[in-house]
Amino acid sequence: MFFQVRWCWSSILLVSIYLLFAPRFAAAQDKPPAPQFLYRSENHLVLLDGYAGKTKTLSIDVTEKDRFVWSPDGQYLVAQLYDGQNNGYCLNLYDVDKQIWTRDKPISCAVQEYIFTKDASQIYYSTNDKTNGILWKYNLKNQTNRNIYQTDNGNDHYQDGISDLKWSPTGDYLTFNDYHWIMGGTLNFLIVMNVESEKYSSLSARDPYYASYYPVWSGDDHWFLIILQDEYVTSGTFPETNHLGDVYLVNTDTGKTYRLTHTPAASEVDVHWTDDGKIAFTEVTEKKFTYTLDQAMNIEVVPSDKIITPEPADPGSVTYSTAGEFISPDPNLAAWVEKTQQADKTYKFALNIGDSPFYSTSVIKFSIPISDPEQSGTILIGWRPSDYPYPQG
């Protein structure tokens, strides 16, 4: 009898513990947070629940010239508010959950470009004072701004500026172009900045007129490979060149360069680092042939086992296009625009939310009428970033 009672009370205790925790666990598993899609409707921003189709209008007025992008962590909406008086846009952050601006006044005006750090704690952005470009660092936590780089060769007739802000893969270095306008274009110089020390090096093609730079980083970002051309255009009126460039190795911190090839008439492609840290690329050369008919008919036949055949295709390298679709943080859900011609030859546009065609047959769950996204400024801002581990498939 004693053992039977003890078993009974133990069972009751276990069932109680299960009932206490199981519903919460099930709820957490059964109801992941709904992905949210943001779009503009006339002069308002609307947040759409991707599961239920419910909408919420944010408490700010906007224009078709304003630009909006989600911060990397989805906490803020980055607003570039059009400012025709200051040669650019005014930059500010809007807290979507609280529905308030983080600052009463913009972070800055005359903003040309901006980029977040990977942890979304800071923003680097460039401005222009009508003669020179300035690079700033803004700290979101304490709302402080600091000038960390400035061009110095601009004047009232030919401006300097800063463009093409990009991170190295580790986020330890920021690259950007320091450019100077001349008659028909710009002289472009690549700046590589260590964001911790804020020291930087400058890299330039032999003739930087119209030059463009695309670093290929090593695994630790201490080095990068780059193709530099002797010239990028023949002249301001003839934007073509026969120079194909050469491969250079560059030390990220010192800017010291090492020229690896001396073949500006040949192309180097697929420049990359191997998994074991070696430098690899392919040089493409052109060989021209001319045959008479007799020569062509008497070319020696090569045995099939002597013919050099290409390597088998790598199935892992095949990519599938989702052009025109906005895949949500939940990979099973997508948004896309549908264009429908009316009887009067005009078109109507709708934002469709439904199953992602990447994983299944496309099924529309609901549609929202929108303006023409190609004619009405920024209409589609996109899905709110989320780190929730949505299941796939």
What are the φ/ψ torsions at residue 226 (nearest 5 degrees)?
A: -155, 145
Measured CA to CA, the distance from residue 151 to residue 191 in angstroms comes to 11
Provide the token pair at 99: 């529905």
pLDDT score recorded for residue 157: 85
Residue 136 backbone phi and psi in degrees, to 5: -120, 155
Whole-number pLDDT of residue 239: 76
Token pair in block for residue 389: 């581990």
- Say what the pLDDT of residue 83 is: 83
Which spans in the chain are helix H? 2-30, 293-297
- Give 3-state DSSP helix, strand, coil % of the chain, rounded to 5: 10, 40, 50
How far apart CA 319 and CA 14 sit, in angstroms, is: 50
| pLDDT for res 236 | 67
Q: Residue 213, exposed/middle/buried by CB under 10 A (0-12, 13-18, 19+)?
A: buried
Q: Are 220 and 170 in contact (CB under 8 A)?
A: yes
For 7, the enclosing helix (H) or strand (E) is: helix 2-30
- For the chain (393 residues), the mean pLDDT of every run of 10, in chain order, is 45 48 49 95 95 94 93 95 79 96 94 94 94 96 96 88 97 97 92 97 95 97 97 80 95 97 95 97 92 95 90 63 78 92 90 76 86 86 95 80
Q: Name the pTM for this structure.
A: 0.82
Q: Which residue has the tokens 């008497």?
A: 298
Q: Please report where in the chains the tokens 């330039």 appear, as a residue.
A: 204
Q: Which amino acid is at 197?
A: S
Q: Which two tokens stand for residue 141?
A: 């936590």
Query: For the chain, what is the largest distance between any 2 Cα atoms, rounded to a whole number of angstroms?
Result: 109
How many angstroms separate the CA atoms of 182 and 209, rounded?
A: 9
Q: Where are the domains of the chain?
A: 168-318
Q: For residue 87, what pLDDT is reported? A: 63
